[in-house]
Amino acid sequence: MKIKELKHQEDLPNDSKLKEVLIQFEKFIEELNNKNLPDKTIEIINKHIEDLNSSLLLDNAFKKLLIKRQNQIVKLLEKKHKLVPKNYYRNLWMTLGMSAIGLPIGVAFSVSIGNMGLLAIGVPVGMVIGFTLGLNMDKKALKEGRQLDVELKNII
């Protein structure tokens, strides 16, 4: 079974950001077609693409829907098959590092010193920790052959 293609909407304006998102999505689908995915997963992906093809949204609203569906497909692949795009874990863990690691470090540091102005000092520390953890997970996914040869950027 093959994944359906996204139909281009001819009435879309020459929005460069929308074109970037469309090109990125097409590369993503092309990469998925090269993988040996189960029919059940392909059916779910095809439902997302049918939803996009039947959409009457234009411009920014269509771009947001396209990014939303792309993220849903990525989450499905990561959850069921452990397949991830390039830098998936790096981007995920960098954000988690800043919020879940960096902020508590900053709070502890600022309370111990007694100066709440130093609260944000933990954010870059957490970012570096998260970045490193995510980078190592991406390397592991590449080594195990679970990484797709496409990097997805949420262009907003």
Q: pLDDT for 127-150, tens place per residue? A: 999 999 999 999 999 999 999 999
**DSSP summary character for residue 60:** H
* Both structure tokens of 29: 């689908």
Domain end call among 32, 64, 81: 81
Which residue type does 115 have? N
Q: pLDDT for 8-57, tens place per residue? A: 766 566 667 888 888 899 999 999 999 999 999 999 999 999 999 998 88
Same domain, 25 and 63: yes
Same domain, 29 and 50: yes
Same domain, 41 and 14: yes
* Both structure tokens of 89: 């874990």
Query: Is residue 129 within 8 Å of 97, Cβ to Cβ?
Result: yes
DSSP string, 64-119: HHHHHHHHHHHHHHHHHH--EEETHHHHHHHHHIIIIIIHHHHHHHHHHHT-GGGG
* Both structure tokens of 6: 């996204």
Domain end call among 37, 66, 81: 81
Q: pLDDT for 60-94, tens place per residue? A: 888 899 999 999 999 999 999 999 999 999 999 99
Q: pLDDT for 51-62, tens place per residue? A: 999 988 888 888
**How far apart are alpha carbons 34 and 44 in whole angstroms?**
17
Q: What is the domain extent for residue 111?
A: 84-155
Domain end call among 22, 48, 81: 81
Same domain, 70 and 99: no
Same domain, 13 and 38: yes
